Chain A
Amino acid sequence: MSEMTINLKIWRQKNAKSEGKFQDYKLNGVSEHMSFLEMLDVLNENLIKEGEEPVEFDYDCREGICGSCNLVINGRAHGPKHMTAACQLHMRNYSDGDTIVVEPPRAKAFPVIKDLVVDRSAFDRIIEAGGYVSVKTGEAPEANLIPVEKDIADAAFDYATCIGCGGCVAACPNSSASLFTGAKLAHLNSLPQGKPERDKRSIAMVEQMEAEGFGDCSNHAECEAVCPVGISISAIAEMRRDYLKALV
């Protein structure tokens, strides 16, 4: 097993009000089998032993599904590997002596809490505005009374698979949340269950996205390129279509 030395430049920031800066660290003994976050764990163990404050970063499931991790690695959300969340990135993608820059996703709507941890509650508020089907517990009809064509169900799943990490926002030059918002709209609007509220939902979610301070989409497609679960930018086309239809 080969061991590497990695040079890290990590964004340190005490809280939302203070200014942040990059701090350099040198980490020896990095195994190629470590995940990127395990490498940061090891760094933190060293820092704690040296009496320094560890680097704060968000994570939970460490299997690419909870969407907690959202590091921007060498300028790219979730790092270099296509369709891979930062927690699923492994150090075998790096070489001995590499320098890696780690920073939080930078967007007005995602204020920094500490170091690499940001506040993404704006995403919750976009869902809150209309990202649901208004069905109460107990109101549901027998499941197979709502047939859904397989192609439509599969396509809905492809949008519903969004993990809400915010990588799309970090990658977008305009800090737009269009891919996130579009994915939820495309998921629900395409299904028979979601049709009755389509117009209301489309307007409410798009307007909430704007109110949160996310920018507009100008078709750079950086979001699709970094999305760890491969949400297609066609979600944004669907969102625009449904939004316009709802307005007229």
Chain B
Amino acid sequence: MKLESNVPSGPLEEKWDRHLKDIKLVSPNNKRKHKIIVVGTGLAGASAASSLAELGYEVSTFCIQDSARRAHSIAAQGGINAAKNYPNDGDSVWRLFYDTIKGGDYRSREANVYRLAQNSNSIIDQAVAQGVPFAREYSGLLDNRSFGGAQVSRTFYARGQTGQQLLLGAYQSMMRQVHAGKIKNYPRHEMLDLVVVDGKARGIITRNLVDGSINRWKADAVVLCTGGYGNVFYLSTNAKNSNVTAAWRCHKRGAAFANPCMVQIHPTCIPVSGDYQSKLTLMSESLRNDGRVWVPRDPEDSRKPNDIPEEDRFYYLEEKYPSFGNLVPRDVASRNAKMVTDEGKGVGETGLAVYLDFRDAIKREGKDAIAAKYGNLFDMYQNITDDNPYEVPMRIFPAVHYTMGGLWVDYNLMSNIPGLFVAGEANFSDHGANRLGASALMQGLSDGYFIVPYTVGNYIADAELSNITTEHEAFTEAANTSSETLDKLLSVNGDKTVVEFHRELGKIMWDKVGINRSKEGLEEAIEQIRTLRDEFYENVRVPGDATYYNKYLEFAHRVADFFELAELMAVDALDRDESCGCHLREEYQTEEGEALRNDDDFSYVSAWEYGGVNGKLNTTLHKEPLDFEFVELKQRSYK
């Protein structure tokens, strides 16, 4: 397997512009002859689909939800970064780039990240022109706030629903192209396989989730925008239907999977309350702008939070990180929450929570001012927990939130299978070992609006694509494989439900491939995953059959893929004998308990090649070295 990053030469600031000049174009007459499949209709998918259709390509979109508008991008709360420097606080494209690459702990490509920062401003322009109702000042101009550890105010937001508003903007653009006949839209269709002909991506296999039929679709390029794989942990902030299946099936067809162990654990989520819990709810980290994080100094302290005087409160982030305080990056905040609860200082019924306290902010600014900023989040919290955060501190705990790893792509966002492009959270490209707040929306839209539409054209202009039909043997083989996979799961008829298996898998992952990892723990995890996976195929019970709407069948094959991915994540975490960003190996810490990178040996992207599962996952590591020409690698410090 050959992994060429295809980063253009030249100064960092000029790479993308130069590349755009060199990119080959497809003539307008020819564009309409080329079919492009976009899988997933979140920010990356909807924006890529609408932009490609505007250019004149024949686009088909597929999503598992009943409407393209419901993709999980919709749940992003906090905001989207851009280097507009409207507040005149010293921001620039360079600074946004630098913060992002540093925040990612130097495990991403310089050129990709710089391009992301460059595109950020155009995204805001585009969204505003679409009518996205961003927050505004009384002047009528756009408002910004500081977010997620940034020392400048560069985050644009639409109350606590920025993802929803940006997604509706992209979805509406997409529906405009549906109306124009340039996009054919297939909701409630799940991609089950990638069809590769002559080494190139030429189509997909889907299951119609309503009638159960297996369908074949051909194309000249496939753009995968299917999001992240956080649900391998069972409990996460992801939507219930978010899954790795589309990406994993591409991996099985030869696409390298990069940095699978890089998982972001978000520090501010509502704690777990019981076994029946089906998902975790994120509270936007904008709350950390005004809330103070603390636990009682004394693990035995059983007083109610408001009865604990100042001197008995341990504001651990403020004490340990005086300059960033409660605004340290997500990985640092999550790790510290785990540390204090491991020391027995956790609060609430389970002891797996810390306080996020607004008492001082309310005293300082008044209840109304706090309600104006966070009202909807406070209401959501109260609705779920039955506690009033205006009066008692919130209880929060880290939860799996975002996966930085994903399918490997080059600078053009093309995987190592020609014609298969991967955008948004589904690729590994821009966030390295940790993603900064308000950067996911930025990346999804940068990929979809401003990168993929050009790079797909560049590929198509040169690609030699044979004339095929969906009767080609590659389609037949892939369709048969898909049906067999479903039949196999339905035929087990064991005693344990899919949910029970998934919950057990999630617990292994959370305990051993979660916030802290160790060699010993990872080796145990790999054994446990294999044993549980074998049991899954012997003892799972999937109800009904494959000929109609059957959600538990959908879950079953997604969990089957999670079982394989889980092992790969543990293998990757074990290979990476260093700590970086969200990947904390207990063996590699500074004296202060911070992630200790090993740049000499691990400054690479790990890209894994699938070799089948036979009791164990067979996988081969390929390394893409990361060269840093323009930034100096430093130990992150938020002290």
Tell me, yes or no, whether A binds B: yes
CB within 8 Å of B: which residues of A?
1, 14-15, 31, 33-35, 37-39, 41-42, 44-45, 47-49, 51-54, 56, 58-68, 81, 84, 88, 90, 92, 113-114, 117, 119-121, 123-124, 127-144, 146-150, 153-154, 156-157, 160-161, 163-164, 187-188, 191, 193-194
Select from chain B the residue with minimum beta-carbon distance to A33: B273
Residues in A with CB closer than 8 Å to B383 are 81, 84, 88, 90
Which residues of B162-203 are within 8 A (CB) of A? 164-165, 168, 171-173, 175-176, 178-179, 185, 187
> Could you write out 9 A-B pairs with CB less than 8 Å apart?
A56-B550, A62-B281, A68-B70, A132-B172, A132-B173, A143-B125, A148-B136, A164-B69, A164-B70
Q: B435 in the interface, Cβ–Cβ < 8 Å?
A: no
Per-position contact with A for B20-40: 1 when CB-CB < 8 Å, else 0? 000000000000000000000
CB-based contact B175/A128 at 8 Å: yes
Q: B298 in the interface, Cβ–Cβ < 8 Å?
A: no
CB-based contact B130/A48 at 8 Å: no
Question: Which of B54, B161, B172 has the most C-beta atoms of chain A within 10 angstroms of its own C-beta?
Answer: B172
CB-based contact A34/B274 at 8 Å: yes
* Distance in Å: Cβ of B210 to nearest Cβ of chain A: 6
Given known contacts A38-B278, A65-B74, A150-B138, A48 and B497 CB-to-CB distance under 8 angstroms: yes
Q: What is the CA–CA distance of A65 and B160 in the complex, to the nearest angstrom?
A: 11
Residues in A with CB closer than 8 Å to B495 are 49
Residues in A with CB closer than 8 Å to B178 are 124, 128
Per-position contact with A for B496-514: 1 when CB-CB < 8 Å, else 0? 0101100000000000000
Select from chain B the residue with minimum beta-carbon distance to A52: B543
- Since A34-B274, A120-B67 are in contact, a sample of 10 more A-B pairs with Cβ atoms closer than 8 Å, ordered by chain A residue number, is A34-B276, A38-B277, A53-B543, A53-B544, A60-B70, A60-B240, A124-B69, A132-B172, A147-B139, A164-B67
Per-position contact with A for B470-499: 1 when CB-CB < 8 Å, else 0? 000000000000000000000000010101
Which residues of B123-145 are within 8 A (CB) of A? 124-131, 133-142
CB-based contact A124/B159 at 8 Å: no
CB-based contact B278/A187 at 8 Å: no
Which residues of B197-215 are within 8 A (CB) of A? 210
Given known contacts A84-B383, A164-B69, A41 and B276 CB-to-CB distance under 8 angstroms: yes
CB-based contact A35/B172 at 8 Å: no
Given known contacts A33-B273, A65-B75, A131-B172, A157 and B133 CB-to-CB distance under 8 angstroms: yes
Q: What is the CA–CA distance of A31 and B277 in the complex, to the nearest angstrom?
A: 11
CB-based contact A124/B131 at 8 Å: no
* Distance in Å: Cβ of A79 to nearest Cβ of chain B: 12
CB-based contact A144/B276 at 8 Å: no
CB-based contact B552/A54 at 8 Å: yes
CB-based contact B129/A133 at 8 Å: yes
Which residues of B8-30 are within 8 A (CB) of A? none
CB-based contact B276/A48 at 8 Å: no
Q: What is the CA–CA distance of A119 and B187 in the complex, to the nearest angstrom?
A: 10
Residues in B with CB closer than 8 Å to A188 are 131
CB-based contact A92/B47 at 8 Å: no
Interface residue SS majority, chain A: loop
* Distance in Å: Cβ of B495 to nearest Cβ of chain A: 8
CB-based contact A147/B140 at 8 Å: yes
Select from chain A the residue with minimum beta-carbon distance to B176: A132
Given known contacts A60-B72, A157-B133, A33 and B125 CB-to-CB distance under 8 angstroms: no
Residues in A with CB closer than 8 Å to B500 are 45
* Distance in Å: Cβ of B72 to nearest Cβ of chain A: 6
CB-based contact B130/A59 at 8 Å: no
Select from chain B the residue with minimum beta-carbon distance to A158: B133
Q: B279 in the interface, Cβ–Cβ < 8 Å?
A: yes
Per-position contact with A for B95-119: 1 when CB-CB < 8 Å, else 0? 0000000000000000000000000
CB-based contact A66/B74 at 8 Å: yes
CB-based contact B549/A113 at 8 Å: yes
Select from chain B the residue with minimum beta-carbon distance to A126: B175
CB-based contact B274/A148 at 8 Å: no
Q: B386 in the interface, Cβ–Cβ < 8 Å?
A: yes
Given known contacts A48-B541, A136-B54, A157 and B159 CB-to-CB distance under 8 angstroms: yes
Residues in A with CB closer than 8 Å to B276 are 31, 34, 38-39, 41-42
Q: What is the CA–CA distance of A62 and B124 in the complex, to the nearest angstrom?
A: 28
Q: In the complex, which of the residues A66, A133, A140 contacts B75, with contact meaning CB atoms closer than 8 Å?
A: A66
Residues in B with CB closer than 8 Å to A117 are 549
Q: What is the CA–CA distance of A28 and B519 in the complex, to the nearest angstrom?
A: 43
Q: Which 5 A-B pairs have the closest CB atoms?
A: A147-B140, A140-B129, A132-B172, A140-B125, A157-B133
* Distance in Å: Cβ of A126 to nearest Cβ of chain B: 9
* Distance in Å: Cβ of A214 to nearest Cβ of chain B: 16
CB-based contact A193/B239 at 8 Å: no
Q: In the complex, which of the residues A47, A129, A135, A141 contacts B179, with contact meaning CB atoms closer than 8 Å?
A: A129
Question: Which of B47, B128, B210, B277 has the most C-beta atoms of chain A within 10 angstroms of its own C-beta?
Answer: B128
Given known contacts A60-B239, A114-B548, A67 and B70 CB-to-CB distance under 8 angstroms: yes
Given known contacts A31-B274, A42-B276, A56-B551, A193 and B72 CB-to-CB distance under 8 angstroms: no
Which residues of B545-568 are within 8 A (CB) of A? 548-552
Q: B613 in the interface, Cβ–Cβ < 8 Å?
A: no
CB-based contact A15/B548 at 8 Å: yes
Question: Which of B129, B176, B277, B500 has the most C-beta atoms of chain A within 10 angstroms of its own C-beta?
Answer: B129
Residues in A with CB closer than 8 Å to B549 are 15, 56, 113-114, 117
Residues in A with CB closer than 8 Å to B131 are 133, 156, 160, 187-188, 191, 193-194
Q: B631 in the interface, Cβ–Cβ < 8 Å?
A: no
Q: In the complex, which of the residues B70, B122, B176, B277 contacts A134, with contact meaning CB atoms closer than 8 Å?
A: B176
Q: B450 in the interface, Cβ–Cβ < 8 Å?
A: yes
Residues in A with CB closer than 8 Å to B499 are 41, 45
Q: B403 in the interface, Cβ–Cβ < 8 Å?
A: no
Q: B68 in the interface, Cβ–Cβ < 8 Å?
A: yes
Select from chain B the residue with minimum beta-carbon distance to A146: B128
CB-based contact B134/A37 at 8 Å: no
Select from chain B the residue with minimum beta-carbon distance to A204: B179
Q: What is the CA–CA distance of A131 and B403 in the complex, to the nearest angstrom?
A: 33
* Distance in Å: Cβ of B65 to nearest Cβ of chain A: 6
